[in-house]
Structure 1
């Protein structure tokens, strides 16, 4: 009986090793010549006109610059992907218009203590400011202020209202 158990164990181990054998990777046999496939890129500088946008675009409802509210997930200060292009465009606008100034107002919903929500609103404003800076905006153009839960846009106590209050608002103080 002992020999049967040992033999079964050996067969089980052998089976496990063969079952886990890696498949050999076959080399690419495509012999297409790619030496003549060079892409030409135009590296001439663009004209000195504005690359991004004009101050008039700030009030144009068809422009991304007219979008000035950035929403956040619950208890988060991470910029959602859907708002990155909007913030990037505002950053480029600031970099091309050095006299422009903005205030970033950070907000939170009613859940949490007053102190916690003030800190969360500040983190949200700073997250937007950091992304603006990555696009060339100067820190001297941006002022961050937190209102925490003190200035809600929706006052009911459910997720639909709370999601509207978790935001950072871009307010231009000089265009």
Structure 2
């Protein structure tokens, strides 16, 4: 697997301010963190008991696929950042392109993953089932691992690269919202 520790994302965040939230901003809590969101994120009922929160990114451009983001909470370190990042990268066929960025935000360790390639989607039973998988070429994953004082919060989304690329800034705004005013 090709690992690229990159400051490109950090430089992009410094160069381009994160989008401001609209006036109809709402908040929700996951573990000890308060996240802020607004349109085009649409809150959904979590589709499983393992999910702490779930949203759909409603693209204005009808040529782009709407993308679901899922929030998970796990006790302790949830197996650690490296083990989770390795597992997520392993959900792609072969050697995907990926970048990992680690940041400290207001005293909290936050790790970000961007991966792209052919995603192997689980066809029932979830990623741990070992069941049949469907190849999804030209897919991208964005994930954030936020290590809280007693729990880890994970944000993760996957979809067609063009659709995910179009929401990257809004993903970063959502993922970093507990650490901004």
Q: TM-score, normalised by structure 1?
A: 0.26
User: Greater CA radius of gyration, 1 or 2?
Assistant: 1
More helix per residue = 1
More strand per residue = 2
